[in-house]
Chains A and B, each alone.
Chain A
């Protein structure tokens, strides 16, 4: 137990001290993106992994959060940082509607309805030019030139998100969520208001994803509908992050975010400039292959299949 705490302390210290140990902007940027994905992956995991409602449309909440921050800056003329406070709330408002429509459906049909939802929002953001600037996108001036403030904000967000989900899952709500995943009809029969708790799970999930979106707007300074509402690079990526790490585990998505961002960046940068340049053109191909590989061989994720992975290595050794 003491060793356990010591390990967590060391991991915590490492993250706090990381920008000081590694002063490179590039690596700090990577970790910021990883932390953002920790937030999105964990929130997807709350809804899908724990509550069993697989969403193919988390880009809805990410995009709404990002656009809230962006529109604050361009249309209302106030700082995009207000979006960090309101992006999550705007996402929750959208989630209420999405839940109202999509929770009429179960299982695969729910997943597909959310997928269509994501496309609707992408098309809406593309065509509603008076509000969103359409395909031109929204460009704002970043507040800080250094990566440091963004790093600590992202770290705070990721920590808040993972810990909140940890505590939610330890509470009575957490047990309700899992019971809905295991057998919705039985849960209903036991007197659990499944519609209510599915919506609660969706709202929490949407809140954190929206906040991550607002953070993305502030950090990157530019969004357009293809970036924040992208099916593959947001919705499917969120699923992959959670599955690679381990769906229905608290720390799985955090591990998954590291692996996924690292793998993606390795190929995008063509093995950090070591491989020939055409490798970087194939990063989308690698993304697809990764989807196939993960589902076939790692369906319970690194954390979920940890024993299996350890077994393979100890047998090999």
Chain B
């Protein structure tokens, strides 16, 4: 029983961060209708930004968050503006060329990181990296708990932004019906740039929160891209509430898989859920809640 509880706690904590990663992708999915297959790579870039700040200025990764998020907002905006938006005008037989483009951008980001930092594993060791506290016999990893808490705060802030501000309303309008939004005077091209930037900034936050816990290497991006992708499908395309639950479900499922099936199959659990969702619940969790 203790093992089970411990597994659930670990899964829930990592699930909170997965949610933060998934929400960014879901936002982009909702507004542009494409899956951003460079999402994890953007997180990797943010982690390297925080890593450099740690090495040079000895900045704590939680502080570098304030640098990495704006930096990634700009990077994300530039990617959208100069690689994805021009494609809307390109006439092609293949409608999925934007998705393919994100794969190309992701490869470029990974390889640039490899050029600069080599493939070696890097890590940021802070004083609290491996500290934990106990409730009964269940241990709580401290940086994980902080990360979970900050992820919850960011998610709340995002909801406030989407529900209460003009830009947030414009984003939701564009996601609902792009042409109608344009007719209402929303500059939809600018909204796509902002949305991509926002998604990139959110995943940057997740990256900084993970930095004290995870090893950092250029190929880190791909597994996280795929996780974000599974979360997006699991939660229901474009549903932010769905993405939160999707992230938590994925975190717990992976944790259970690692404990009861084997570490090697941890990654696969997510994909098996993915296939099951496609077969039995094609609309994702959104279909159950109707949000």
Contact = CB atoms under 8 A, between A and B. Distances in A.
Interface of A: 48-49, 54, 56, 101-102, 104-105, 107-109, 111-113, 115-117, 119-120, 123-124, 126-127, 231-232, 236, 239, 243, 247-248, 281-282, 284-285, 287-292, 295-296, 299-300, 304
B96 interface: yes
A115 B100 CA distance: 11
B56 interface: no
A116 B107 contact: no
B272 A116 contact: no
B148 to A, nearest CB: 26
B271 interface: yes
**What secondary structure prevails in chain B residues at the interface with A?**
helix
Contact of B86 (A117, A284, A296): A296
The 9 A-B pairs with the shortest beta carbon distances in the complex, nearest first, are A291-B104, A288-B107, A285-B111, A288-B108, A299-B92, A127-B264, A292-B104, A123-B268, A120-B271
Given A285-B111, A288-B104, A299 B97 contact: yes
Given A116-B226, A296-B87, A289 B108 contact: yes
Nearest to A289: B108
Interface in B64-106: 83, 86-87, 90-97, 99-101, 103-106
For A105, A117, A296, which residue has the most chain B Cβ atoms within 10 angstroms? A296
Given A289-B104, A295-B101, A300 B278 contact: no
A49 B95 CA distance: 11
B101 A292 contact: yes
Contacts of A111: 96, 99
For A111, A116, A232, A287, which residue has the most chain B Cβ atoms within 10 angstroms? A116
B246 to A, nearest CB: 14
Contacts of A116: 226, 229-230, 233, 271, 274-275
**What secondary structure prevails in chain A residues at the interface with B?**
helix
A291 B237 CA distance: 26
Contact of A120 (B104, B229, B264, B275): B275
Nearest to B262: A127
B99 A108 contact: yes
Interface of B: 33-35, 37, 83, 86-87, 90-97, 99-101, 103-108, 110-112, 114-115, 222, 226, 229-230, 233, 237, 262, 264-265, 267-268, 271-272, 274-275, 278-279, 282
Contacts of B275: 101, 116-117, 120
Nearest to A240: B100
A291 B101 contact: yes
Given A282-B111, A290-B104, 12 more contacts: A49-B93, A105-B278, A108-B99, A116-B226, A126-B264, A282-B115, A284-B110, A285-B112, A285-B115, A292-B83, A295-B100, A296-B87
Nearest to A100: B279
B82 to A, nearest CB: 10
Nearest to B282: A104
For A48, A112, A127, A247, which residue has the most chain B Cβ atoms within 10 angstroms? A112
Given A282-B111, A285-B112, A291-B100, A104 B272 contact: no
Given A231-B222, A295-B100, A107 B95 contact: yes
Contacts of A113: 278
A247 B92 CA distance: 9
A300 B92 contact: yes
B278 A104 contact: yes
Given A243-B94, A288-B107, A300-B93, A236 B100 contact: yes
28 contacts: A48-B94, A49-B93, A54-B94, A104-B279, A105-B278, A107-B95, A108-B34, A108-B99, A109-B237, A115-B37, A117-B275, A120-B268, A123-B267, A127-B265, A231-B103, A236-B100, A248-B93, A282-B111, A285-B108, A288-B106, A289-B108, A295-B87, A295-B90, A295-B97, A295-B100, A296-B86, A299-B90, A300-B93
B96 A108 contact: yes
Contacts of B37: 115
